[in-house]
Each structure stands twice: as C-alpha cells, then as structure tokens.
Structure 1
C-alpha cells in the first residue's frame, strides 16, 4: 500500500520507508528544478496540490520534499549503493 504524501517529509539521517515510497517524486523534483520550474508548478504537477487553493500547504510541501531531495543528492544516495 502506498504511503500518503505528507506536507512535511519525515526526517532521518538514513533512508526511510517514506523515501522509498516517494523516490519517484524526488526524481521528478530534480528534473523540475533542472527545468527551472517554480514551486507552484511543482506543487501542482508533482505533488498534486493546487497552489491557488492551498498556497501555504503547497509551498510547505514543495520545500519539505525539495529539502529531502537535496539531502538524498548530497549524502543519502550513499545508502543506495553500499560498499
């Protein structure tokens, strides 16, 4: 069963079940950043949150997932390729 998308990503210094369930979202966020997408575009297209209806939630969720994506890129990836 797929875990619900949270507004605040659960934080840990290791990969979590949430990370594993939402890895595709992190990849899509990386691609969106490379394409210079704005937070509103990422919220709607990737997270399924309407920034017009829920601007605070959209911004919070995008920033939280981007922060986790950055962690994954900078150090978390090491857990994907042990040894």
Structure 2
C-alpha cells in the first residue's frame, strides 16, 4: 500500500522504490522499475477488486 500512497501523492517512482524496497534505481534500473510497477499494479488491483474477495472469504 505504501507504493500506492506514493503514486497517489505524485512521488517519483525512483524515490519510492529506493525508500520502500531499498533498491537503488541507479544501480539496478530494470529491476527497480519492474518491482515498482508490479507492486503498484497489485496494490491497485487489491483496492479495486481484491478486497471484495477478501470480504467474502474467497481466495485471491
């Protein structure tokens, strides 16, 4: 959820990935971007769809 909060606040993805995941985007740019984007997509999915399954006791 922290990555979602950072995106909502307009934080630069490089700063967010460095703080949240402790990945240096200057050293590992591809990995940093992939981790950021995949976690952001998952957080968005959870807030839009996944929470319904959790409320109804269904597996994700």
**TM exceeding 0.5:** yes
Q: Per chain length, whose mean CA-contact separation is higher, i.e. which structure has more relative contact order (CA < 8 Å, sep 6+)? A: 1
TM class, shorter-length:
0.7 to 0.9
Q: Is the contact made by 2:17 and 2:36 (CA closer than 8 Å) also made in structure 1?
A: yes
Instruction: Spell out the pairing of 1:1-83 with structure 2 (5 A cutoff).
Output: 27-82=1-56
* Structure 2: runs of 5+ lacking an equivalent: none
CA shift for structure 1 position 82: 2.4
Corresponding residue pairs, total: 57
Higher helix share: 2
* Structure 1: runs of 5+ lacking an equivalent: 1-26
- Root-mean-square deviation over aligned CA pairs: 1.4
TM-score (norm 2): 0.82
